[in-house]
Amino acid sequence: MAIVATDWTITRATGIIDYTGNDHGGGSPSYATVIEFHRWVQDLADDPEFTGSTGDELDIIDNTPSDRSTDNIITLINGFTITPAAAEHLYDGSVISGDIGVDRIVYDGIVNFGNADVQIQIMQDGVVLVDDWWNFSGAGLNADPNAGISHRFMLKTHDFAGDGGDIDGRRLVGTTRTFGNTYAEFKINGTSNGNNVLALVDSNDLNNDTAEGTVATWTTIDNTTEGFVQLDVNNNGSDEDYYSEWNRDTYTINQFYERMKWLTRDGSTSTLYGLNGELFRGITHELDVDGGTGTWGTPEHEEITWGSGATAGTARLLAVDNKTGSSATKIWFQILTGVVPTDNATITGTTSTATADAELSGGALTERPISTPFVGASTGSALIGSYGLSLETADLSASDTVFDLTNTAVYPPNNVTFTVGGVVSGEDRVLVTNNAAGDIDFTQMALASLLNGATVTAVDVGLGNIPADTPSTGTIRIERDDGLYSRHPFSVYDSGNQTFTITSHDFSANNASAANDVFVSYIDKLAAATSESFTTVYNADRTLFVRVRDGGTAGDNEGIKTAETTGVLGTNGGSVTINRISDV
């Protein structure tokens, strides 16, 4: 569509070229490519005289108004400029005006290859541009569906008088965050003159079908810890590092996922880590630091800055591994403007005033992957989390995956529970052991060394001999030299699956010699409820031997016949129900 000349004016005295037609939402707004615009002004420029009624004050007596580098790069020269309104009605390239270092303004072309109804937002210079006029009536301006183009428009990327030059290095981040749809983002690390491509597509997110208004009410989903936090998500006895610990309360993991999308959707007014949800993207960089000073805030998130001029940058601090500045060795942040820190650049918290020096000679600056949405992906029943984000361990299941701040996948354990039901509290003695042909597996383990001390707390059964699915706490039985099996609670066992730490016990009078039997008594107690259970981390199916006895000395004072059975502890746990047969 050629330019609609009646929608444009040129003022000879000022060189201002303005769009005066209908606005985007008006009756018949018009748009023109930059080459059509160039052709139009050039057409006027070789006229013998302008026609007063058109408002196009340009003809042969005027200086040349424009110069074409390519069909997509037009430079207005000799003082001619376009207004912001005009810029909103031109597309498919760049329009440059003004003198370098004086009053130069550059509008660069943005082309999004995406689905026709995708709605996109632009982050520029640390903010999400408020006026997204390029999204129009549920579609994009100047779309070309045949070419797979959803939007074509121009953005100001350089304004010497207004911004001192390039606007944030002409860096842009395009996002699409329509709640209910998939999210995406696409970075332009410095626009070039001409068209700059975004590739933002979205589609219905099948795991995000709850009404927006409903998700808005899930306010008990809370960011328990904002900032550096250490969690043993995989229950391996060693904590991993995260920048966030969320509590999903009673909501499912998918509902948690939807809530995270809601917080960061287009139009969000929520605040995450001190940033508007629309602007929050998650950690973009991990940086080794040293030489810090002061104390970082609690929570850590605050604006941090470094450098000046071409080396300047700002970011939102999301985690620091030690709030004592002098002890901090790593920080994690979402960059907002500028460039990443150079070696030894001093990074300063604008609120805490704490500092840290970038350590790139002995350390590293690592760009971390961005997830869209920032929380990661949902399978509907599990979360594939994003870099550094975790939930409370109890809010995770074995089907979830999170990534710690080393970007290592961390898998929560499969905590399975074996339940013995049908027991009577206060009467029944319950014993659950590994099954050995319908009996206790006495030889499940064997002592590696003599126990004869008065305060024995370590029970060595040999390296790797403690079964992997042994609960982290519980009880074991140890064969004493007198032939009896004494019961010993243990609070932990070592990572080598070799040594139990038991409650201190005197073996001096009744030793337990090496090679004596040791077995785990998974349940080894008087029933305190109608059922008893234990939880452990599933490793492989295990057949358990269950014995329940009531000697009739408590409760109803009626004994039962010894009840024995077996059950399997599988991936989903297991259970047995005791058939109590009175022995009266």
Partner 1 sequence: MAVAAYATDLTDITTAETISGWSALGGGQSGLSDETDYFIQGSQCVSKTGFTATTKGQLFNAGTTTITAGDAVFIWVKQNNRNLMDTVALGGSQVCMGSGTGAFDRFYTDGNDSDGSALAGWRTYCVDPTDTPSATTGSPGAYTYFGNQWKIQGSGSLKGNPNGIDAIRHGREIQCTAGEAANYATFDGAAVYDSATTRAWGLITPASGSYQFHGAFVMGTSGTAVDFRDSDRVIVVLEDEFVPSGFNEFEIRNASSNVEWNNIQITALGATSPGILTLDVGTFTGVACFFTDLATTIFNSSSTVTGCTWNRCEAVTPDGADMSGSSILAPDVAANNSGLIWNVNTDPDGLLDGMEFSKTSGTAHHAIEFGLSIPTTSITLRDCNFGTDFSATEDGSTGDETFHFKDTTGTITLNLVSCTGNFGYRTDGVVVTVVADPVTTAVNVKNSAGSNISGARVLLRASDGTGPLPYQDSVTITQSAGTATVTHTAHGLVTGNYVVITGASPEEYNKQAQITVTGVDAYTYSVDSGLSSPATGTPVSTGAIISGTTNASGNITDSRTLASDQPVTGYARKSTTTPFYKSGRISGVVDNVNGVSFNIILIVDE
CB-wise, 12 or 487, nearer to partner 1?
Answer: 12
Name the percent of the chain in helix, strand, coil, to the closest 5: 10, 40, 45
Q: Which of residues 44-73 bind partner 1 (CB under 8 A)?
A: 45-50, 52-53, 57, 59-61, 64, 67-68, 71
- In angstroms, rounded to a whole number, what is the distance separating the alpha carbons of residues 212 and 129? 23
Q: Which of residues 5-44 bind partner 1 (CB under 8 A)?
A: 12-13, 39, 42-43
CB-wise, 15 or 114, nearer to partner 1?
Answer: 15
Half-sphere exposure of 103 (CA within 13 A, CB side): 9
488 and 476 in contact (C-beta within 8 Å)? yes
338 and 169 in contact (C-beta within 8 Å)? yes
Number of C-beta neighbours around residue 219 at 10 A: 9
- In angstroms, rounded to a whole number, what is the distance separating the alpha carbons of residues 34 and 3? 10
Q: How far is the CB of 50 from partner 1 (least distance, A)?
A: 7
Q: Give the DSSP H or E segment for 186.
A: strand 184-189
CB-wise, 62 or 400, nearer to partner 1?
Answer: 62
CB-wise, 60 or 540, nearer to partner 1?
Answer: 60
CB-wise, 2 or 515, nearer to partner 1?
Answer: 2
CB-wise, 43 or 482, nearer to partner 1?
Answer: 43
CB-wise, 64 or 220, nearer to partner 1?
Answer: 64
The helix/strand/coil state of 327 is: helix
- Rama region for 138: left / alpha / beta (φ>0; ψ in -120 to 50; rest): left
Q: How far is the CB of 15 from partner 1 (least distance, A)?
A: 13
The helix/strand/coil state of 435 is: strand
Number of residues that bind partner 1 (CB under 8 A): 21
CB-wise, 74 or 520, nearer to partner 1?
Answer: 74
Q: Which phi and psi angles does 303 have, rounded to 5°? A: -80, 135
Q: Which of residues 491-510 bind partner 1 (CB under 8 A)?
A: none
Strand 121-124 relative to strand 165-166, pairing: unpaired
Q: How far is the CB of 279 from partner 1 (least distance, A)?
A: 42
CB-wise, 44 or 347, nearer to partner 1?
Answer: 44
- In angstroms, rounded to a whole number, what is the distance separating the alpha carbons of residues 97 and 93? 13
Q: How far is the CB of 67 from partner 1 (least distance, A)?
A: 7
Cα angle 438-441-445, degrees, rounded to a multiple of 5: 165
Which residue in 240, 241, 281 sits closest to 260, CA to CA?
281
DSSP secondary structure letter of residue 497: S
Q: How far is the CB of 268 from partner 1 (least distance, A)?
A: 46
429 binds partner 1 (CB under 8 A): no
The count of residues in the chain is 584
Q: How far is the CB of 12 from partner 1 (least distance, A)?
A: 6
CB-wise, 71 or 117, nearer to partner 1?
Answer: 71
Q: List Cα–Cα distances, 553 to 3, 428, 559, 561, in angstroms.
A: 100, 10, 7, 14
CB-wise, 72 or 208, nearer to partner 1?
Answer: 72
CB-wise, 16 or 216, nearer to partner 1?
Answer: 16
Which residue in 59, 410, 5 sits closest to 236, CA to CA?
410
CB-wise, 66 or 435, nearer to partner 1?
Answer: 66
DSSP secondary structure letter of residue 344: T
280 and 334 in contact (C-beta within 8 Å)? yes
Residue 155: which residues within 8 A CB-CB, separation 6 or more? 107, 108, 110, 122, 124, 129, 172, 191
410 and 240 in contact (C-beta within 8 Å)? yes
CB-wise, 59 or 494, nearer to partner 1?
Answer: 59
Q: How far is the CB of 18 from partner 1 (least distance, A)?
A: 15
205 and 180 in contact (C-beta within 8 Å)? yes
End-to-end CA distance of the chain: 99
331 and 319 in contact (C-beta within 8 Å)? yes
Q: How far is the CB of 57 from partner 1 (least distance, A)?
A: 5
Q: How far is the CB of 14 from partner 1 (least distance, A)?
A: 11
- In angstroms, rounded to a whole number, what is the distance separating the alpha carbons of residues 415 and 471? 9
- In angstroms, rounded to a whole number, what is the distance separating the alpha carbons of residues 503 and 509? 17
Q: How far is the CB of 98 from partner 1 (least distance, A)?
A: 19
- In angstroms, rounded to a whole number, what is the distance separating the alpha carbons of residues 563 and 577? 10
CB-wise, 96 or 231, nearer to partner 1?
Answer: 96
- In angstroms, rounded to a whole number, what is the distance separating the alpha carbons of residues 483 and 75? 98
Extract the tokens encoding 343: 């070696």
Q: How far is the CB of 46 from partner 1 (least distance, A)?
A: 4
- Rama region for 317: left / alpha / beta (φ>0; ψ in -120 to 50; rest): beta
Q: How far is the CB of 35 from partner 1 (least distance, A)?
A: 9
Can you give the binding site for partner 1, defined by CB under 8 A?
12-13, 39, 42-43, 45-50, 52-53, 57, 59-61, 64, 67-68, 71
